[in-house]
Structure 1
Amino acid sequence: MAPTKRLEKLKLSTLLTFMRCHGGSSDDHLRIGTVGFSRVVYVNEPDRLEEEGFSYLLNEVSTTKYNLATFLPKSLFEQFRRVANFYFLVSGILALTPLAPYTAVSALAPLCVVIVATMAKEGVEDWRRKQQDHELNNRIVKVHRGNGHFEESKWKNIKVGDVIKVEKDNFFPADMILLSSNYPDGICYVETMNLDGETNLKIKQALKVTLDLHEDIKFREVRQTIKCEDPNANLYSFVGSMEWRGQQYPLSSLQLLLRDSKLRNTDYIYGAVIFTGHDTKVMQNATDPPSKRSKVEKKMDQIIYLLMSSLLMIALLGSVFFGIWTKEDLRDGELKRWYLRPDATTIFYDPKRAALASFFHLLTSLMLYSYFIPISLYISIEMVKILQALFINQDIRMYHEESDKPTHARTSNLNEELGMVDTILSDKTGTLTCNMMEFIKCSIAGTAYGQGVTEVERAMAMRKGARLDDDIENGDHKDKKNDNSPHVKGFNFKDQRIMDGKWVHEPNRVMIRDFFRLLAICHTCIAEIDENEKVSYEAESPDEAAFVIAARELGFEFYKRSLATIIVRERNPSQNVVEKRKYELLNMLEFSSSRSRMSVIVKEPEGRILLLSKGADRLLIALNGT
């Protein structure tokens, strides 16, 4: 069996304050019960809502573009938005009249083939979306069914008022109010990557009055009433109140757990469902699947317009001359082209009604020259898009091995757009690095350590035509050939001057020691220790994890923390023994954008009190010089 991990149960909300959410104002709480703040939830009594006349949406969601009733009209509308399809539809209708120079079947059959093939492609892609919705709606979660007993239930069967138990690394099935967690102070860590793209963890915390609800049996007699805002699309605010045991307690976004966010670094949580299905905030932000048209398709429409204009000019010119010649067939009772019998003809060649005959000739010419516009162009493009989507789904170079996820083309309408990217706009470094941080280099007391090459340095060297590997032939390059040590995630540091305890021989060894002590102490990571005393870390951001891992690999291992102490296991290079140093945690100064740094005040075992800070280099260098 895999070694079980024991996670230290600490009151970390006191330490991890910099992730506190923004609560609603007191003025907003006064509006509860008015328009826009009228939602009522009876916790652990979902059937009571129906008895009192409240009608809330089911938790089943659908992201499909069509259903059985709307597929045919909506799909036909999409097809005839294309200029060529509409043109051939008009030509097909005219082919049913005596004006047509060919049979109606020859005009309508190709159009039907194109329309049916395209509609079939749209139907298959929408069916795949429906299958994904089916998989999502049938996920399993534990729901309280009375007497402290939790049963597994499908997401789609969850009702407003249900009490849900969500376990580690699972998604929240609906918008919920956090009641408790496995931590004594009711905090939990949430990943909102599916909502806002952020991979750093957010901290949520339950109200103090519900902290004792941390076991299944304790929900046997729980009855609460939650009054809150109506469903809206604002992900970052929430206003509500909880009535329990005759007391009112304000609720804010600090207690709100959103659908499609994931529980991380927490064994389990209990929550009360307040919004379900399309009432949830993530679905309130969702829009109906748009009718997307690529640049190639829009360009094709422009070309079709040009071809239609040319066709119209040719047909119009021919019709004008036809009208002139038809009118001259009968002049002053004389037959000019007597062999056409203009005196006994139909309206289509009647010299007495030459203008009308010219108009009918125009319609006939438009049908006769319709092959000037290639109807097979659209079906060819559709077939190419389908094949492209298949190749994308099977492309091994677009497969993410760590998460075991291949590329999935949900729609093939915009395949060609992937090859037309000319500008990439990025908001911050984490977006470019996929939040995968590695400790490669550092500078201590003015001396640079680390012989590795970053991707930025390598890219700049390639742009300038230089070869970095030649420059480090005596250093990192040879070390890589001879180094058979396993790779540690987050640590890619190579420098024989300070590795393996050799830092004690450096002239600035005291500063090197203090530097790595700072990395082992000044953070908010949580240590997970397995039965073999092997330590791993759970961090809110990948850069913090990389710093702590680097300190551990270089002999300064963050081992344990409590509310008042931090224990670091340091390797003494001279005696080759590991010593435990206990630091008394006096205070932690939270990180903020205005301070651009995080600080801790600790007391060493020797009695010295230290202020340790890490943050933006420009700010810390300026502070160090004052």
Structure 2
Amino acid sequence: MDRGGHSADPDHYSDTVPLRPVGMAPQPGASSSSSSSSRDAAPAGFRARPSRSARTASQDHEHEQQRLLDVDDHDEDEHDWGVDEAGPSRDAGGVDAAWAKSRGKGKASQHARTHSSALERIRSKYPANVVRNQKYNVASFLPLVLYEQFKFFFNLYFLLVALSQFIPALKIGFIATYIAPLAFVLCVTIGKEGYDDYTRFKRDVESNSAPYKLLVPASEAAGIIGRSGNSASRKRAFADLEQQGGRGSAMVTVPSSRLRVGDLVFLEKNQRVPADMVLLRTTGGDSEAPASTGEQARPEEQSIFVLDDDDEPDSARPSHERKDSMSKSAITAAREEDEEKVELGGSGTCFVRTDQLDGETDWKLRVAVDVTQQMSEDDLVQLGARASVFAGPPIKDIHTFLGNFTLHPDLDGPSAPITPAVGDLLDGAAEFSGSRPSQQVIALSQQPHVVPLTAENVLWANTVLAAGNAIGCVVYTGKETRAVMNTSHPETKVGLLDLEINRLSKILCAVTFALSVGLVALNGFRGEWWVYIFRFLILFSSIIPISLRVNLDMGKTVYARQIMSDEEIPGTIVRTSTLPEELGRIEYLLSDKTGTLTQNEMELKKLHMGTMSYSWDSMDEVATQLSIAIAEQFGAGARDGTKSPPPLQGGQALLATAGAVIGGRGRRDMSSRVKDVVLALALCHNVTPIKNDDGTVTYQASSPDEVAIVRWTESVGLALIARDRTSMSLRATDGTVLSFDILEVFPFTSESKRMGIVIRERMTGELMFYQKGADVVMARIVAQNDWLEEECGNMAREGLRTLVVARKRLTEQSYGAFERAYKAARIQVDNRNEAMNQAVAEHLEHQLELLGLTGVEDKLQEDVKTTLELLRNAGIKVWMLTGDKIETATCIAISSKLVARNQYVHQVAKLKTVEAAQDTIDFLRSKLDCCLVIDGESLQLCLDHYQTAFIELATQLSAVVACRCSPTQKADVAKIIRAYTKKRVCCIGDGGNDVSMIQAADVGIGIVGKEGKQASLAADFSINQFSYLTKLLVWHGRNSYKRSAKLAQFVIHRGLIISIIQAVFSAIFYFAPIALYQGWLMVGYATVYTMAPVFSLVLDRDVSEDLALLYPELYKELTMGRSLSAKTFTEWLMISIYQGGAIMILSLLLFENEFLNIVSISFTALVLNELIMVALEITTWHIYMFVSEIATLFFYCISIAFLPEFFDLNFVLTTRFLWKTVVIVAVSSFPLYILREVKARLSPPSYSKLGH
């Protein structure tokens, strides 16, 4: 039997139905015959699922034909997955259905098993679950790499010149002179690209080969094992399977690439999620949940499985819906259960780390589907067509998921056993033993049970399961996963300097062509003039020196080495060595917030309660007042959980306020008010305590704000000790344990800007609605007050995140009315969220009692303020792009000094119409000195309809903050700024959600931090903290650009001057295309005679490091491109023409008897001239510069003796040769020195002023 094959034993077939995509319709035509009951054949402890009730053959046939039609018409953009009863096969044919005949009360079942062709046809619509980050394959590698190199005119020109030397009529000198440098560059580039892509390939293979456990029916496992793993692993797997007897469920290990839509995947702690999955079931890290062990699930962990509200008996309602109070024994038992739940972790929730997806380090809570949470693994694989999962089309939004889980009722005979998966037990029911309880089970209606699915029910690919184990159903694979859809493919980055050199090459080529045609024209186009033109082009090819590319690449390597060896920015890594000069041209810096500007460590700094205010240094008083209030209401017996005080009445209840009634209450004492606000903060959150292996407790929540507040409540004496989906327990400093039932939680969203919770205190049955949120929304929800607005402003000016805390007392009647309205809204298909929000607003969110205001500080990274100020002074405009909410981003912008003091902050949020976007743009035109804070939705609206106008205005603002940005939205902003401004854009981030933005920038910088290394690995440069950016840009970036600009122009000058000498020589000697310098002279000129001194310019610096950091305005000059511009190019062109003409003309004037003397005099003067020019260009001497000058001169003098074909030693060693050479060099270089000194005094550069 292979994977998807069927067991030969028909009795086993009922247990082999895994989750399958909906629409995988059963195929008619399977045979049916009598067989013994599979229930009788099943061994003890194994519960086979009964078949469905009998139907007529014609009805079933019509039903199956209609399902097949639905499959063919299924929209490929809409995913609809589920469980198919029609067979376990992935690739096997139809199966004999005789097993169902006896189980269906003697009537043959007409449900034929799924035929493999239909199953594979549907599943093949979805992409394979593979990761591919390679840029090339074996066939495309060489063509694409060569294309990337020769798409630049610079390299293409050199290639044509090199190829021309294979044509005899055009051959000028040694072929190696033209081919070797180009071949060297190409070999280095191809080798580097090949190594990088091979590294990516190995990472892909590792990811795609990662093993995952597949939950399948035992009868199907053998076929999968037969094609998976090595022989040893297969033998062990077969042994385990044989011991199990082929019944129930089995775990089969398969590589990640073989996972497909509909598979059930078992995940373990710290395992990466391989595909987008709906969470079906969770278990604790050390033990299984009761549902999987056959034990009775505790009442508080179960979901009441009722489809029709009218059929629900009152006795079946949860304990918090009954009006009678809990007994003392029940209270004690509930407390014990709270402690047990922390250990078991089987409450249907799990935590995932999403830092590689959304960049947030806080663990995210995920909730399993209630129905499947209560099922065992055997039950899950036996569901068949009773269950289906509907999922919408794949989208990029990681915060949104719309789907349904549908469980159809089991229509089998009344004698079928019921498991916790399809029923529920009353509180205090008898032990569940596998047989149907007589009166305690709630009957199912005949309608399917539909559970709405949201993003909290889904595990996205590339997240990591942080605690416990989980089982999920794959819904999106491969390129349809959220992680892949939010990752853009990196482009090959080319520095601006390289582009400028490429443009200069085109200009130089035009100059070369014009010079060649001019010389032929002056000769009257005689003879084979077209051949002469090509020969002149080759002779003058040194105008575009082939060594320029080699020098620049070597310079980049030196810059990278200097950056990585800088002890003041340890850990800095240059991953793209072709871009160091880009660091000196940055005009826009796009930065992430969390973990980049901030440490992502929150701390509550201030608590204000109207007439009382507590700062960080007075929190001890809060702890004292809290302990007094709790001690007044609890006796010693409550502290050990063995004795419960009688229900408190009126103002004695914990949740009550002494004599408090809104609108007419007396003055409360201080301790009671402190207790109220601290208790509200300790309850109104989504934090869950996680016990680590070493016994310590870690708080996990969706927001660091939440964790900071809970840590603060613990510090003042009220600690969170346990929490699951239905309950929460707090412990006071004196040991008192306070237990609460969680009835509803309303999580924070960017739209609502608030978070609420409805809780019931167990001892008193008191109901309370707590809510906290942003002041802009809470101000209209709380009762009238006279201090909230003023204090919020005060805290905001301190850079603190403000949260308004309020509460509302509920009665059984008011909560019941809300519950009915909320439940009705929750099952709506259309406008579900709007209806739920409306129910909350109508029944809960009005006239809340204002308790207090908190101020939380997100600690900034070290030296962030000074870094941002320095970058602004350097002319760099900073944008902050974050996925955080608008209030948080605004606070950080203020505290980090991204927003200048007293600068107006204009917030734009929730724009829905084009008209609103136009009004925003019109307003910004009159407020160009403001800081714009805009949310992702509004930003997208502006970019979709008014991209040019919006970017034109936004790029003029001193600072822009974009909130709630998706990863692709961040990348789009970077691309748009680059396209519109044509300026250099740098993006910096530390999380996986910043990768797309980093790759879209001209320069991407990743920070190695708490969120992992994904951003660092994808970036061009990697640093350890944000403050390193100062030295990286202002010092290393500035030096790299200025040095490369000077080096490029000097190398071009070196080629121009020898070409001018050649042109003058040819013009004098009848325009003959004959080379003046041949052989070793041409090779040596560009290498051993001038290369070392010229290359030493990469060590030059115009100012010291301290001055560069002290006066960042020097950096601003570089953004104008003055170091390499048309003006500087023209200056060097004129210098080359003057010096080349002077050397050649003077050499001819001083010509003696032999032609050999012209070569020796002019070439010696040329080499000495270049050494002097290098010395004149150096601003700060380095020991290597001095050594290179002396060593080069010495080597040239020695080499003369070994080149008799070019130098007449009898003439070279005479004084005539010496004085003639000195005169020529003096005429060619001294006037330039005089002009430079005069210019420096009349119009000194900025750096020279600082130097003095």
Q: TM-score scaled to structure 1, two decimals?
A: 0.69
**Which residue is 1:315 aligned to?**
516
Report if aligned partners of 2:89, 2:116 keep a CA contact under 8 Å in 1. Answer: no
Of residues 255-264 and 596-605 in structure 1, the stretch that sits farther from structure 2 once superposed is: 596-605
**Per-residue displacement from partner, 1:560-593 (whole Å, max 9, x unpaired)?**
346665432223xxxxx33333456565454344
**Which residue is 2:682 aligned to?**
520
Residue type at the aligned position of 1:546: A
Q: Say yes or no: does 1:306 pair with 2:468.
A: no
Q: Say yes or no: does 1:558 pair with 2:720.
A: yes
Cα distance change of structure 1 residues 583 and 281 upon mapping to structure 2, 3 Å threshold: closer
**Which residue is 1:370 aligned to?**
541
Q: Whole-Å Cα distance in 2 between the matches of residues 174 and 500 of structure 1?
A: 47
SS in 1 for 2:690: strand
**Which residue is 1:221 aligned to?**
382
SS in 2 for 1:62: coil
Q: Whole-Å Cα distance in 2 between the matches of residues 503 and 364 of structure 1?
A: 95
Q: Tell me which of 125, 138, 150 is aligned to 2:196.
A: 125
Q: How do residues 443-454 of structure 1 correspond to structure 2 at under 5 angstroms?
A: 443-445=608-610, 449-450=614-615
Cα distance change of structure 1 residues 423 and 369 upon mapping to structure 2, 3 Å threshold: same
**Which residue is 2:240 aligned to?**
none
Residue type at the aligned position of 2:552: I
Q: Say yes or no: does 1:37 pair with 2:73.
A: no
How many angstroms does 1:385 deviate by?
A: 4.5
How many angstroms does 1:545 deviate by?
A: 0.5
Q: Tell me which of 129, 142, 147 is aligned to 1:77.
A: 147
**Per-residue displacement from partner, 1:384-437 (whole Å, max 9, x unpaired)?**
5456667878889888xxxxxx77766444454455444334576676325332
How many angstroms does 1:140 deviate by?
A: 2.8
How many angstroms does 1:276 deviate by?
A: 3.3
SS in 2 for 1:438: strand
Residue type at the aligned position of 2:460: L
Cα distance change of structure 1 residues 502 and 314 upon mapping to structure 2, 3 Å threshold: farther
Of residues 201-210 and 38-47 in structure 1, the stretch that sits farther from structure 2 once superposed is: 38-47
Q: Whole-Å Cα distance in 1 between the matches of residues 155 and 693 of structure 2?
A: 69
Q: Whole-Å Cα distance in 2 between the matches of residues 250 and 500 of structure 1?
A: 44
Cα distance change of structure 1 residues 94 and 191 upon mapping to structure 2, 3 Å threshold: same
**Which residue is 1:424 aligned to?**
589
Q: Tell me which of 554, 579, 583 is aligned to 2:736.
A: 579
Residue type at the aligned position of 2:753: S
**Which residue is 2:774 aligned to?**
616
Residue type at the aligned position of 1:37: E
Q: Say yes or no: does 1:105 pair with 2:176.
A: yes
Q: Tell me which of 256, 266, 277 is aligned to 1:165.
A: 266
Cα distance change of structure 1 residues 395 and 546 upon mapping to structure 2, 3 Å threshold: farther
Cα distance change of structure 1 residues 103 and 426 upon mapping to structure 2, 3 Å threshold: closer
Report if aligned partners of 2:745, 2:758 keep a CA contact under 8 Å in 1. Answer: yes
Report if aligned partners of 1:445, 1:508 keep a CA contact under 8 Å in 2. Answer: no
Q: Say yes or no: does 1:625 pair with 2:826.
A: no
Q: Whole-Å Cα distance in 1 between the matches of residues 347 and 71 of structure 2?
A: 28
Report if aligned partners of 2:172, 2:538 keep a CA contact under 8 Å in 1. Answer: yes
**Which residue is 1:141 aligned to?**
212
SS in 1 for 2:588: coil
Q: Tell me which of 265, 271, 281 is aligned to 2:472.
A: 271
**Which residue is 2:276 aligned to?**
175
Report if aligned partners of 1:41, 1:274 keep a CA contact under 8 Å in 2. Answer: no
Report if aligned partners of 1:125, 1:410 keep a CA contact under 8 Å in 2. Answer: no
Q: Whole-Å Cα distance in 2 between the matches of residues 294 and 227 of structure 1?
A: 48
5+ long unaligned stretches in structure 2: 1-69, 93-114, 219-248, 284-344, 412-447, 630-668, 786-1252
Report if aligned partners of 1:129, 1:410 keep a CA contact under 8 Å in 2. Answer: no
**Per-residue displacement from partner, 1:447-492 (whole Å, max 9, x unpaired)?**
5544xxxxxxxxxxxxxxxxxxxxxxxxxxxxxxxxxxxxxxxxxx
SS in 1 for 2:602: coil
Q: Tell me which of 693, 702, 710 is aligned to 1:548.
A: 710
**Per-residue displacement from partner, 1:332-373 (whole Å, max 9, x unpaired)?**
xxxxxxxxxxxxxxx43xxxxxxxx1x332222221111122
SS in 1 for 2:601: coil
Q: How do residues 128-527 of structure 1 correspond to structure 2 at under 5 angstroms?
A: 128-144=199-215, 146-147=217-218, 148-182=249-283, 186-199=348-361, 204-215=366-377, 217-219=378-380, 221-223=382-384, 236-237=400-401, 254=455, 255-264=457-466, 266-323=467-524, 326=526, 347-348=527-528, 357=529, 359-385=530-556, 411-418=576-583, 420-425=585-590, 432-433=597-598, 435-445=600-610, 449-450=614-615, 494-495=617-618, 498=621, 501=624, 508-527=670-689
Report if aligned partners of 2:365, 2:701 keep a CA contact under 8 Å in 1. Answer: no
**Percent same amino acid at aligned positions?**
27
SS in 1 for 2:271: coil
**Per-residue displacement from partner, 1:294-352 (whole Å, max 9, x unpaired)?**
2232222223233333333333332322336x4xxxxxxxxxxxxxxxxxxxx43xxxx
Residue type at the aligned position of 2:215: H
Report if aligned partners of 1:37, 1:228 keep a CA contact under 8 Å in 2. Answer: yes
Report if aligned partners of 1:176, 1:258 keep a CA contact under 8 Å in 2. Answer: yes
**Per-residue displacement from partner, 1:82-136 (whole Å, max 9, x unpaired)?**
2211001111222222123224332222211111111111111112211221222
Structure with bigger helix share is: 2
Q: Whole-Å Cα distance in 1 between the matches of residues 185 and 694 of structure 2?
A: 66
Report if aligned partners of 2:625, 2:674 keep a CA contact under 8 Å in 1. Answer: no
Q: TM-score scaled to structure 2, two decimals?
A: 0.37
Report if aligned partners of 1:179, 1:213 keep a CA contact under 8 Å in 2. Answer: no
SS in 2 for 1:170: coil
Count of aligned positions: 513
5+ long unaligned stretches in structure 1: 1-28, 327-346, 349-356, 400-405, 451-492, 572-576
Q: Whole-Å Cα distance in 2 between the matches of residues 514 and 524 of structure 1?
A: 19
How many angstroms does 1:70 deviate by?
A: 0.8
Q: Whole-Å Cα distance in 1 between the matches of residues 741 and 259 of structure 2?
A: 47
Q: Whole-Å Cα distance in 2 between the matches of residues 250 and 561 of structure 1?
A: 23
How many angstroms does 1:540 deviate by?
A: 1.8
Of residues 406-415 and 71-80 in structure 1, the stretch that sits farther from structure 2 once superposed is: 406-415
Cα distance change of structure 1 residues 299 and 159 upon mapping to structure 2, 3 Å threshold: same
Q: Whole-Å Cα distance in 2 between the matches of residues 252 and 304 of structure 1?
A: 60
Q: Whole-Å Cα distance in 2 between the matches of residues 583 and 233 of structure 1?
A: 38
Coordinate RMSD, CA, aligned:
4.2
Cα distance change of structure 1 residues 300 and 538 upon mapping to structure 2, 3 Å threshold: same
Q: Whole-Å Cα distance in 1 between the matches of residues 627 and 458 of structure 2?
A: 50
Report if aligned partners of 2:364, 2:700 keep a CA contact under 8 Å in 1. Answer: no
Residue type at the aligned position of 2:537: L
- Rg (Cα) greater in structure: 2
**Which residue is 1:591 aligned to?**
748
Q: Whole-Å Cα distance in 1 between the matches of residues 71 and 752 of structure 2?
A: 34
Report if aligned partners of 1:242, 1:249 keep a CA contact under 8 Å in 2. Answer: yes
**Which residue is 2:25 aligned to?**
none
Q: Whole-Å Cα distance in 2 between the matches of residues 311 and 116 of structure 1?
A: 28
Structure scoring higher RCO (CA < 8 A, sep ≥ 6) equals 1
How many angstroms does 1:32 deviate by?
A: 7.4
Structure with bigger strand share is: 1
How many angstroms does 1:544 deviate by?
A: 0.2
